[in-house]
Amino acid sequence: MRQLADNFWNFRGDLRIARVLNLGTHMSLVRRESGRFLLLDSYELDESDREALLALTDGGRAVEAILNVHPFHTLHCHAAHKLLPHARLIGTRRHHAQLPDLPWDPGLIEDASLQQEFAGDLDFSVPAGVDFICADDSVHVASVLVRHRQSRIVHVDDTLNVFAAPGLLGRLLPQSRLRFHPQLAKALQKREGAADAYARWARDLAAIWAGTPIVCAAHSATRHLPPEGWREEILASLADVEKTLSRHRATHG
């Protein structure tokens, strides 16, 4: 459990492929203006982090809700609910379909009406022009990006990546700048204007969330940014995928 701002904490965890390659995962905790707390995503904490979270949140009773913001991040939802059974469990429509035994809140995190309930503390953004839930389960491009309004820290799963070397190498080698998900081509909607919609969303995000100091990205790292880093890196990432967008325009208009 690492405190990144007065009212923002991030937990980093393990996600191993074939029990060898550790892709990593994460979860964040924010304290609302009311003094109560929200969890962003679900992760089964180790004993040390679990005790730290419970100590900070009055034994967990001050955690109001768990917001699961990526439709394909479902592995730890049972563990989070077991730890905080009283908290509202909010997810995407895929969470509801994949884990019907859990007591999901009827609202969906991808819907603006549900997001509005937390608008005093959090800003949300959903990529345009891409399928939020792809038919191909291996394509995890879209998610609900969350920005804590007070600290301006962004919590994101997969939509934005920070590539960092694992283990001790990560302390020696520089991490990458922000990059859009490498499977963007597979997620773009097969319709005219989808590429332009995605590019417009990215440019708007670069401007509206300018000044973001830290990005907590799943499977990778926490990235600390210089004052203009967010805008510059988002626009650079958009330039990186311009060939993908151009090919889509050539095919679909």
CATH number (3.30.43.10, 3.30.70.1350, 3.60.15.10, 3.40.50.300) of 2-252 reads: 3.60.15.10
* Under 8 Å between Cβ of 26 and 69: no
Q: Report the predicted TM-score, pTM, of the whole model to 2 decimal places.
A: 0.91
Gap between the terminal Cα atoms of the chain: 47
* Under 8 Å between Cβ of 62 and 36: yes
Q: How far apart are CA 119 and CA 67, in angstroms?
A: 13
pLDDT at 218: 78
Task: Please list the ranges in the chain whose pLDDT falls under 70.
Answer: 13-24, 163-175, 219-220
pLDDT at 16: 47
Q: How far apart are CA 131 and CA 227, in angstroms?
A: 32
Q: How far apart are CA 64 and CA 83, in angstroms?
A: 13
Q: How far apart are CA 113 and CA 116, in angstroms?
A: 5
Nearest to 10, CA basis, from 153, 166, 167: 153
Q: How far apart are CA 67 and CA 156, in angstroms?
A: 12
pLDDT at 183: 94
Cα dihedral sign, 109-123-230-169: negative
Non-local CB neighbours of 67 within 8 Å, separated by 6+ positions: 38, 39, 40, 41, 90, 109, 118, 146
pLDDT at 26: 80
Nearest to 108, CA basis, from 116, 10, 33: 116
* Under 8 Å between Cβ of 36 and 49: no
Sorted by where each begins, the domain ranges of the chain are 2-252
* Under 8 Å between Cβ of 83 and 50: yes
pLDDT at 176: 75
